Structure formats: C-alpha cells, structure tokens
Structure 1
Amino acid sequence: MTDHKLDPALEEFAGQIKDQMQSFLVAVQAIAREADGGRAISLLLLEMSQISLAGARLGAQVDFNPEGEYQPDVGPEPDLDGLRLRLAEVLGEVDTYSFVFDPYVPEVVESQLSDDIVSISTDLENGMRHYNGGNIAEALWWWQFSYVSSWGNLAGAALNALWSVVSHDRLDAEFTGEDEDVAVANEMLADEMSLRAEPAPR
C-alpha cells in the first residue's frame, strides 16, 4: 500500500466521501439483486440523492491536484455488465428516458438509467481502487474530475428521471390517506437502512 500523507482535515473529508461512494456501490448491487420495480425506483431515488450530495461536496472544494502526470495503474475496471442487465430488467419500461445534456446548449438526448447507473458506478469504483491502495489524493482528484466531467451530469439526469416516475405514480394515483403514506415511507426507510447494513462484497 502506498503511503500518501494528507492534511488531517482533508483526510477526514476523503473518508466521508469514500463512505458515501462505497455505500452507493453496495446499495446499487443490492437493489439490482433483490428489489422489484416499484421498490427499486424509490431506493434508487434515495441513492442518487445521496451520491449527488457527495458530488456537490466535491464540486465545492478547490481543485484537487494529482501527484503525477498520469493516473497510477490500479488494475482493470470491474465487469459490471451483469449489474447493467439486472437493472435494465428491474426497471423495465422506465429504463429509457430523455434529458437535456447541457441546459445552456439545449439538446435532448435519450439514455438508459441502467447504463448511466453503471457508468457512475464505474467512475466511483475507479476512485475506490485508488483510495484502497493508499493514494487518497489521487482518489479525491479522480472523484472530483469525473464528477465535473461525467457522473455529476448523469446522476442529476437520473435523479430527475427517477423523481418523475415517483411523481407520476403518486400524483396520478388516487390519494390513499396519510396513515398509509407514512407506512410506505417507513418501509422504504427500513429497506434503505437494511441495504446500507449489508457488508461490502469482496
């Protein structure tokens, strides 16, 4: 393991970001493996909100600078094609959606939630390998750079798509009463906590 010393406050920040990244990666795998379509939408909405918060925290920091001109080799990217296929199956007809890639250069593009979630996971996982290898500075640089250049936009678009599905489901359906709504919310929260409590895959 490489030893890269950081300011203690920055190291604590990096640890918090790492925990959020790891939580997302574990939860997405569990959702794809265990959740049905309705629960998957709600749980993915929660996860996208959390990872977008982590990205915003990275974006608010001054630019992190890598120690070398090139990224250190941390091995091949994980094969997440199985995750993509399971998510596509779980999401079904809501997998494909449209969004404006750049609001200042409006152009509507079509994408798949399953593809975008896997793309985000790949970027986060790359940073995790740097972090777990002891190169925290490189991990922070990569997470920040990839957030600004790639996964931040995808997370925002996916979050909006998932919100839209939930919004149509709730607003287009007949009101079921406050007690039932609270029970559903509590069940979703319990599911989320259960997913987060699962040990990370080795």
Structure 2
Amino acid sequence: MPESRATTTQQAEVQLKELVHETAKDAHDFSGAIRDMATGATPDAVIPLLLIAVAQLSVTGARLGAIQDVVPAERFEADSGPETDLDGLRVSLANAFQGIDDFTDLVDPVTSMEISRGALSDDLAGIVGALEHGLAHYEHGRLTEAMWWWQFSYLSEWGVRASAVLRVLQTILGHLRMDADEETVAEAEFDALHP
C-alpha cells in the first residue's frame, strides 16, 4: 500500500510539472500574440485571431481551475523582479480597438446584478501582466510559485476577464458577420433567384 501511494504521488508531481511547462508555453504564446496584435500590423485579422488566442488561453485557465490548489513552499511570494509596464500595451490595444474597445459587463453575475464598464484593452493588458508575472517565476526556476500564481490569478482575476473578452469578441464577430443592410440582402436574394 505505501508503495502505491508513493507511485501516485510521483505521478501527480510529474503531471504537475508537465502542466507547468504547458502553461508557461501557453502564457508565452498568448503574451506574444497580444503584443503582436497591438502593433496594428494585421487590423483586418485582429478580431478572429484574438478570438482564437483567448479561447485557447481559456482552456489553459480551465485546467488551472480544475486541479487542486497549488500551494507554494514559501509562505510569501518570492520577488519576481520589476513589473512590466503595461501602459504602452494598453494604449496600443485601445488604438487597435478604437470604437469597439468599451463594453458593458457585470461585476459578479452570481452575487450581484451591478453593471460595470469593461474595455478589451484593459482586460487584455491585465491578462498579459498576470501571465508574464508567472513567467518571471517560471524563468527563475520557481515552478511551483509560477503555477501558484497562474492558478491564483486565473481564479481571482484573469479567468473572469478572459471570459468577458471572449464573449465580447464573439458578439463583435457575430455583428460583423450577421448584421447586413436589408437592401443589400434583398439584392443578393434577387440576384440568386434570377440569374
């Protein structure tokens, strides 16, 4: 019996180590993608690409939320170095999303019906900041600390913000694809029926 418990514990440690490496890769990829999109190099593709990136990150977050709480060995968080200045990223994203950046959101859909203002640029910059904070721990070899941070920040902030961003992006994409001028639709129907 004790041997079986040891094997189970070892397997759990291996799985957690694999998850930390996968999460680090996903965090790095997401952060890079958002920074690339903020340059404005691909304005016509930013909404669909962002939809994919946020959806993929949401899967990463779901894994963090589904596992047991990660508890770091130290009681206090180790210094991960200077925080990344996200103001430039936030401004660049606000410029990229000009006209569609702001949205209405609920503070907490379970406990409150209070409405708040959200902004894609604020939420995305905040998510990048949280992910990069965890990456700093990861890059310093503090794997458990990185996992703890990603899990904690997912449950406390960026998971909810990613869900809000995903919903807004789906709504925007739906409007872009489904909303059409009635006259244009009528002409297309006429042309299709009378070749």
Q: Secondary structure at the match of 1:75?
A: coil
Structure 1 residue ranges (4+ consecutive) displaced by more than 3 angstroms after TM superposition: 34-38
2:156 corresponds to 1:171: no
- Whole-Å Cα distance in 1 between the matches of residues 82 and 164 of structure 2? 27
2:125 corresponds to 1:124: no
Alpha-carbon spacing, 1:35–1:43, altered in 2? closer, same or farther (3 Å): farther
Shift of 1:9: 2.1
**Of 28, 31, 46, which residue of structure 1 is paired with 2:34?**
28
2:107 corresponds to 1:115: no
Contact 1:99 1:109 in 2 (8 A): yes
- Whole-Å Cα distance in 2 between the matches of residues 101 and 39 of structure 1? 30
**Of 47, 62, 67, which residue of structure 2 is paired with 1:61?**
67
For the pair shown, which has the larger CA radius of gyration, 1 or 2? Answer: 2
- Whole-Å Cα distance in 2 between the matches of residues 161 and 152 of structure 1? 14
Partner of 1:200: none
RMSD: 1.8
- Whole-Å Cα distance in 1 between the matches of residues 17 and 42 of structure 2? 38
Partner of 2:25: 19
**Of 53, 73, 76, which residue of structure 2 is paired with 1:70?**
76
1:1-202 equivalences under 5 Å are: 7-104=13-110, 105-173=112-180
Contact 1:41 1:91 in 2 (8 A): no
- Whole-Å Cα distance in 1 between the matches of residues 13 and 163 of structure 2? 31
Shift of 1:166: 0.1
CA deviations over 1:144-178 (Å, ceiling 9, x no partner): 00000000110000110111100011111368x9x
Unaligned runs of 5+ in 1: 1-5, 178-202
Shift of 1:34: 3.7
- Whole-Å Cα distance in 1 between the matches of residues 62 and 107 of structure 2? 18
- Whole-Å Cα distance in 1 between the matches of residues 118 and 140 of structure 2? 33
TM-score by length of 2: 0.83
Contact 2:40 2:96 in 1 (8 A): no
Shift of 1:35: 3.6
Percent identical pairs in the alignment equals: 39
**Structure 1 counterpart of 2:154, which letter?**
Y
Q: Name which structure has the greater RCO, CA cutoff 8 Å, separation 6+.
A: 1
Unaligned runs of 5+ in 2: 1-11, 189-195
**Structure 2 counterpart of 1:32, which letter?**
A
- Whole-Å Cα distance in 2 between the matches of residues 57 and 83 of structure 1? 27
- Whole-Å Cα distance in 2 between the matches of residues 63 and 31 of structure 1? 33
